[in-house]
Amino acid sequence: MPAKSPLITVSDLSALLEPGPPVPAVLDVRWSLGGPPGIEDYRAGHVPGAVFTDMNTDLAAPPGEGGRHPMPAVADFEASMRRLGVSDGRPVVVYDGAASTAAARAWWLLRYFGHTDVRVLDGGYRAWEQAGLPAEEGSGSAAGPGDFTARPGHLPLLDAGGAAALARSGVLLDARAGERYRGETEPVDPVAGHIPGAVSAPTTENVAEDGTFLPKKKLLARFKALGAGGASEVGAYCGSGVTAAHEVLALSLAGIPAALYAGSWSEWVTDPSRPVETS
């Protein structure tokens, strides 16, 4: 049997939400750098039964030396997912506004911590609305308690040293906008530039105008042109480990396994001894 795709269409999700097991846990992960808070979009309208998932508290530890969105502690992530209704034997669907940039963070964390059935709604809530499917407004009802057990280590993870080494020996993709990679601007972090040897690969080029992922052949061609897809190991980073998860998801769709540097640039620049490249 072919492996299940990490993506799900709005029509397939709508069918899964019909009465009868197993109805998936649906997580609304709408978030954008600099706001406004995604909870406002959630209250204005969301997929029926979806529960709001906070990027800063459910999907990350408090900011610090580990970056702006450090990996959550095992016990904290497990508690958050249980509160949101996630169980080991229950499918999970995650979505955000459209391009799956934030939803991919939830997908990656759940997969890393051992959940085996997690899919991303391709095109996000925009696709759901455009399909004319029903929506709920307001704060939603409390999710039933889940029994998810977090077991870390199911996807490859890089620390700063591993990312530096991979940039020399393999392919390290920088998922941020090109101008941030080149050091022309840095709207969030205190230092501009990129990890020496990294390759610019903005996540915006993984999706079509409507926010859905490009077909596998186009993704594969894109990553091969960037040096990935051969024998070399591949990794990805971004500003704080959010859009890099989107890059890892796109690489997965292309059939290319990749590691995530979760601390990313916001962790890298906390140590002034780490080199910075601009070009």
Hey, which residues are catalytic here?
Answer: 238
Query: Residue 261, CB half-sphere, CA atoms under 13 Å: how many?
Result: 28
Comparing CA positions, the residue from 88, 123, 94 lying closest to residue 107 is 94
CB 119 within 8 Å of CB 5: yes
Q: What angle do CA 107, 101, 115 make, to 5 degrees?
A: 0
Question: Is the CB of residue 28 less than 8 Å from the CB of residue 42?
Answer: yes
The torsion angles phi and psi of 133, rounded to 5 degrees, stand at -85, 155
Residue that has been written with the tokens 């004319």 in this structure: 132
CA distance 190 to 203: 22
| Among 85, 108, 113, 99, CA closest to 27 | 85
Cα angle 127, 29, 151; round to 5? 125
